Amino acid sequence: MSYQVKELYLSAQGEGARTGRAAVFLRFAGCNLWTGREKDRSTAICKFCDTDFVGTDGDGGGRFSEARDLAKAVSDKWPLEYAETPEYAEAPYVVCTGGEPLLQLDAQLIDAMHDRGFEIAIETNGTLGVPKGVDWICVSPKAGADFVAKSGDELKLIYPQLGAEPELFEGLSFANFFLQPMDGPELRKNMASAAEYCMAHPKWRLSLQTHKLLGIP
C-alpha cells in the first residue's frame, strides 16, 4: 500500500511513560473519528482533537509508495552520530501517530522500520486492532467510539470526557494508566481536576503535554 504522511520530524516524547525520550514522530494523515476539518468538528466522534493531520504538506510529509522508502525517511531523521554508535543503550525510536496511525501502519512498514533498527511505538484511539510487531502501545480511548485495543503499555485517557470516565477502563490490561487534561479554554480547570482525581485514585498518573510547555514540536 502507499502511505500518506502529514509530517515527519525529530523531537522528544512529550506525554506519558516515555516523556523526554528522543523520538522520530511519524504522523499519518487521516482519522476515523474526525475528518480533521473544522466544519465537521461538531458532528465528529472526537470533537476535541488539537492536531492537524489533514493532507501531506507538513514538515517531512508526503506520499510514499513503498514501505522501504518511508522507513528510510524515518531513519534519515534520526541523528547520525547515534545511528553509528551501537553502544548507546536505547534503540532508535519512532512514534507512529496521527490522526489514527492504524489506518495505515501495516506489517510491511513495521518490518521495514525494524530492519533499520527502530523500536516502534504507536499512539492510537483503540478502535482498530494492533498488528504484531509494535513494541510500545499507547491507547487513548474516546467516548462514543468502539474500543477494541484493550491491552498495551499505557492507557492515556483525555480528561474529562462524558461517557469515558476513568473507572470504565481501570480494569483493563495496561501497564500504565494516565489522565491527560483536555486542552482548550478550560485547560487550567481540567489540569486541577485531573490532578485531584489522580491523588484520590493512585492507579492513575497525571500526564502533561510537556512539549507544549517547552515550545517544541
Catalytic residue among 15, 31, 97, 153: 31
Catalytic residue among 123, 124, 153, 178: 123
Q: How far apart are CA 103 and CA 31, in angstroms?
A: 7
- Could you tell me which residues are beta bridge partners of residue 98? none
The whole-number pLDDT of residue 26 equals 98
Chain segment 109-130, per-residue pLDDT in tens: 999 999 999 999 999 999 999 9
Is 123 annotated in the active site? yes
pLDDT of residue 85: 60
Q: What is the pLDDT of residue 18?
A: 96
114 a catalytic residue: no
pTM of the model: 0.94
AA letter at 202: P
Query: What is the reported pLDDT for 82?
Result: 67
Whether 198 is catalytic: no
Residue 130 DSSP code: P
- Cα gap 97→51, rounded to integer Å: 10
Known active-site residue 46: yes
For residue 106 the three cell numbers come to 501495516
In a structure prediction context, what are the per-residue pLDDT tens digits for the chain, which is 217 residues long? 799 999 999 999 999 999 999 999 999 999 999 999 999 999 999 999 999 999 999 999 999 999 999 999 999 999 877 655 665 557 899 999 999 999 999 999 999 999 999 999 999 999 999 999 999 999 999 999 999 999 999 999 999 999 999 999 999 999 999 999 999 999 999 999 999 999 999 999 999 999 888 898 8
Grid cell locating 34? 474526525
Q: 10: how many CB neighbours lie within 10 A of its CB? A: 15
CATH number at residue 136: 3.20.20.70
Select which of 49, 96, 138, 198 is catalytic. Answer: 49
Residue recorded with cell 461538531: 42
Position 213 scores a pLDDT of: 82
| Annotation says 211 is catalytic | yes
Quote the domain boundaries for residue 135. 3-214
pLDDT of the residue at 91 = 85
Chain centre to alpha carbon of residue 91: 18
49 annotated active-site = yes
Choice among 7, 15, 46, 177 that is catalytic: 46
Q: How many domains does the chain have?
A: 1
